[in-house]
Structure 1
Amino acid sequence: MDELNIALVVHDLHNHGGHSAYAKILAGAFSRRHAVTVFANRCEQPSDARWQFQRVRAVRANAVTTVRSFPLGLRLQRRQLSNYDIRHAQGYCGGNPNVVTAHICVAAYLDSLRGVSWRHRVALQLMANAESRFYRRYQGRVIAVSSKIARELREFYQVAGSIDVIPHGVDAARFNDDCQDQRIAVRRQLGIGDHETMILYVGDLTKSHVYLKELAQAAPWATLVIVTYSQAYRWKSKNVRILASTRDLAPYYGAADAFVFPTTYDAFGMVLLEAMASGLPVFSSDRAGAAELIQSGRNGFVFALDHWVEATIAGLQNLATLRAVGDEARKIARRNDWSKVVREVEQVYFNVAARGVLATEATVGAYGY
């Protein structure tokens, strides 16, 4: 196939955050053999990047204003975008994409929440309404990051066309547990002994705090280390350490004995795959998209939230057995690296370009592989 002219559309482009990191990885990979331009409001562009950046105007007062104003900014570049073979948007961004990757179903996420403020609920409802209008009109190709998301798009937005499920990948080379000196150093910094059990959680406390608190209370013999940007839902306990979010998670994966992820909703959960790449046994709820990669009991554990705490505590008792599970987890992670994602997304592009897939305009409302 000839070189494609690709536009990647995303609100912001940086190395952290699922959909943003995803778009940046694709930009770096595809720009080695295609012409790539990133359309975004904010962008972290490496000095040696082969792709181009085109700024899209947006109002950044809060998440809602960003989501609602970005399509207006994109409209100003409608003529320029029409010249691209592939217009690949990351979720609802407006414009007239012919490929969309669904990184979340906001309506499903909203439906999963309990006990959140009315302000938060109203903001999410506005975003869900905009997303719903977009998908009901959209006629191009859809990529979902998990089968979970594919089901939710059909249930909540009545997406009737075919959906390509392409799970996120992981840069397995970044994560390993071979540095014993670093493991000891991190544990000492946290006040955890070499032979004590360290359990790690990384992510938003909004979706997990209830189950993490129950776990910490029921397992006083283990230390729960939480790495999060969340300011709400924090608590104090002798066997709990809550740390600020960081991009350098590898030392914490390397210091831990197990990884827990009792999320009430995650379209994928990239930290699960990172933990698996680090050789950790993972204990996930069945509400994370990445849990679809786990064969429970063989390369990780997946439990329903109703009995997640009890099942996880039982599973944590034998760390020797868990090492074998962690070894299998690492194998799965290495088979799901980003190069696999790049190949599968590129094939979608080729199919779209060959068929000349068009899309109705929505209403306004690296890695070298």
Structure 2
Amino acid sequence: MKLAIVRQTYNPNGGAERFVSRALNVLAQDRELDVTLIARQWENAAGWHTLTVNPPFRNRQAREAGFAQEAARHFSAFDLVQSHERIPGASVFRAGDGVHATWLEQYNRILSPLKRWAQSFSAYHRYILQAERDMFTHPALRNVICNSAMVRDDIARRFGLGPEKLTVIYNGVDTSVFHPSVRENNLRDTLGIPQNAPVLAYVGSGFTRKGVSVALNAVAAHPDVWLLIAGRDKQARKFIAQAERLGIAGRVKFLGPVDNILQVYGTADALILPTLYDPFPNVCVEALACGLPLMTSHQCGAAEWIKEGENGWVRDALDVAGYQQAISQWLAGRVAGQDYAANARRTAEPYTLERMASELQSLYRNLLGS
């Protein structure tokens, strides 16, 4: 079976790209699959073909439209095309980035009325919204892979797709690598963090969308809690200044992009991600597998896995008081001997890379068989 997987570019810190890399690595081992990646640029291939599609562009709307048009020219050469971009005509779409209309609704919550008005005239957002609608209503679309029930239900509601076209396949994780044993290799001595101090980690790029400001305000209410912030953001200085204003700069560590994310998980005791919108971040699966309970928002797909007070807490993305309360409960549980690490690990253990690959392969064969 000739399978094409479509994603524009590779970013080692991007969650969607990490999913594609993991999927490629496991699918390439299936001798019944002839896998080709269609991309502008990517990391070195190992076991699959790479078809480079890199038309010139002058702005981000032209970038999206140009890649979509050129990539679609090759779709007829494959038995199945699984796109991770909003390109009408693909047989399978993986909605790893969720629904753009929903993201705009959530993002508008933190914009001023003037910025909301200006955004409504954005040619880029109008293009993405139209491409999204054209893709979900295209006759060639046979299935949408959703990485959470939240995204599945949103697509069904907005675009009228039936359950036969919507499949939830959760992100897989290498549970032998992402494991509670990461605590043996941590950064506490390097960063000057006491070995017994409670440490929260935030992992992800896009600090505004993923709630760094809320995390800082939540930590400010707890003088013994440290916060690690791993990720890239063009406005990082703004958040560093916020930590200084709050008087917590001494116990907040901005790490920037981190090559070895396992050291961050090994240093932390829990993950905090008050994200405005995230279909299901890889970092949540990874952190849970490492034994870190999760504090996140209702608009994060990982909230589906959370049992309040056992393996995490779920609050509204902008509910600072709610996250302060969650941290209080977490601290009290630690004192009482609550085994959050074991609960978190049990949550992630079933979601292996092998399970993800098996579910993808089963979907492909069902589509070809039908």
- Deviating beyond 6 angstroms after TM superposition, the runs of 4 or more aligned structure 1 residues are 118-121
Query: Could you tell which deviates more after superposition, 312-321 or 160-169?
Result: 312-321
Matches within 5 A, 1:1-369: 4-13=1-10, 15-32=12-29, 33=31, 34-46=33-45, 49-59=46-56, 61-77=58-74, 81-94=75-88, 96-103=89-96, 104-113=98-107, 114-116=109-111, 122=122, 123-138=124-139, 139-160=141-162, 162=164, 163-178=166-181, 182-183=185-186, 186-203=187-204, 204-207=206-209, 208-232=211-235, 233-235=238-240, 236=244, 237-305=249-317, 306=319, 307-318=321-332, 319-321=334-336, 324-355=339-370
State TM-score, norm by structure 1: 0.85
Deviation of the 1:228 alpha carbon? 2.0
Letter in 2 for 1:101: R
CA distance change for structure 1 residues 64 and 309 in 2, over 3 Å: closer, same or farther? same
Deviations 1:141-175 (A, max 9, x none): 11111111112212333334531111111122222
Across the two proteins, how many residue pairs are aligned to each other?
344
Deviation of the 1:86 alpha carbon? 1.3
Checking the alignment, whether the CA contact within 8 Å between 2:180 and 2:345 is kept in structure 1 is no
CA distance change for structure 1 residues 54 and 322 in 2, over 3 Å: closer, same or farther? farther
CA distance change for structure 1 residues 351 and 13 in 2, over 3 Å: closer, same or farther? farther
* Whole-angstrom CA distance in 2 between matches of 1:206 and 1:120: 16
Query: Could you tell which deviates more after superposition, 122-131 or 189-198?
Result: 122-131
* Whole-angstrom CA distance in 2 between matches of 1:20 and 1:54: 16
* Whole-angstrom CA distance in 1 between matches of 2:82 and 2:70: 16
Checking the alignment, whether the CA contact within 8 Å between 1:14 and 1:24 is kept in structure 2 is no
* Whole-angstrom CA distance in 2 between matches of 1:260 and 1:132: 33
**Higher RCO structure (Cα 8 Å, ≥6 apart):** 1
Q: Which runs of 5+ in 1 are unaligned?
A: 356-369
Identity %: 24
| SS of 1:263 mapped into structure 2 | coil
* Whole-angstrom CA distance in 2 between matches of 1:17 and 1:275: 16
Letter in 1 for 2:78: Y
Letter in 2 for 1:335: P
Checking the alignment, whether the CA contact within 8 Å between 1:285 and 1:308 is kept in structure 2 is no
* Whole-angstrom CA distance in 1 between matches of 2:64 and 2:132: 10
Letter in 2 for 1:309: Y
* Whole-angstrom CA distance in 2 between matches of 1:288 and 1:22: 17
Checking the alignment, whether the CA contact within 8 Å between 1:107 and 1:125 is kept in structure 2 is no
Query: Could you tell which deviates more after superposition, 205-214 or 99-108?
Result: 205-214
Deviations 1:154-197 (A, max 9, x none): 233333453111111112222234355532xx112222111222
Q: Which runs of 5+ in 2 are unaligned?
A: none
Checking the alignment, whether the CA contact within 8 Å between 2:39 and 2:51 is kept in structure 1 is yes
Deviation of the 1:323 alpha carbon? 5.6
Checking the alignment, whether the CA contact within 8 Å between 2:8 and 2:41 is kept in structure 1 is yes
